[in-house]
Amino acid sequence: MVEAAYKAANLNIRYINTEVFPDALEAAVHGAKAMNWLGFNLSAPHKVAVIPMLDGLGESASIMGAVNCVVNRDGKLIGENTDGKGFLTAFSQVLNPEGKTICIFGAGGAARAIAIELALVKAKKIIVVNRNIERGEDLVDTIKTRTSAQAEFVQWTPNFVIPGDVAAIVNATTIGMEQFEGKKLDLDFDSIRTDLVVSDVIVNPPNTHLLQEAAKRGAVTIDGVGMLVQQGVIGIKYWTGIDADQSAMRSALEAVNI
């Protein structure tokens, strides 16, 4: 996807995958800086461990305590988090989150990134629905203490009914991924309203069971592919300053049968 964007922009830049084990992370970061890389992405388990090795953090990365994108700014490595920003860009094309109450399922890395970004653009309230009480309450506490948004934790119970005051729901769990075929969000799907925006972070398959059920009930849906593309667009902008060709990026994703 990223290489497709570089090719479309005629940039002589490569985006390569490298496997770095935890005990070699610091050496890899020093190497990237020494070789004057434009930046790099990180996946688990490095998103938190890398922070002491960087020269600074962006606002949302600092609040959520996780980095997935590092940018070389005048020789200093700055940690950013594009997970939530990619979601926010795709989401905002459908609904302006300012002043809205939004319900997020999950309290892991994706949920934290999304919740913080929504709070920073003045969502009125974030409802965190999660089975693990400690993780859910920790995310709610972070939202309350580090942003101006209201937040509430609700324990995830069977056949969960969507609160009537929410403008949008977000599935930020892994439920719905292809490898979990047959698993469905434990939700009362008849509580999905026609005026609700329903978003899912799952990329494979893009049209998840949740989105299918939401579409049947007339809700507006947002799939995870848009979030992934926008996440890439933001990273490329950080590294090169260009506005990437989103259609070329989406086509590249579709070509590998996401």
Catalytic residues: 47
Question: How many CA atoms lie within 13 Å of 129's alpha carbon, on the beta-carbon side?
Answer: 21
Q: What would you measure as the largest C-alpha separation in the chain, in angstroms?
A: 56
- Cβ neighbours of 20 (radius 10 Å): 18
CA-closest candidate to residue 141, choices 126, 156, 131, 155 = 126
Q: Please give the backbone phi and psi of residue 73, each rounded to the nearest 5 degrees, phi first.
A: -115, 100
- Cβ neighbours of 44 (radius 10 Å): 11
**Which residues, including other chains, have CB under 8 Å from residue 140's CB and lie 6 or more apart?**
126, 128, 151, 152, 153
Distance CA 258, CA 242 (A): 26
Q: Please give the backbone phi and psi of residue 197, each rounded to the nearest 5 degrees, phi first.
A: -100, 125
Q: Indicate the residue type of 85.
A: K
Contact (Cβ atoms closer than 8 angstroms) between residue 78 and residue 50: no
- Report the residue count for the chain: 258
Distance CA 180, CA 8 (A): 35
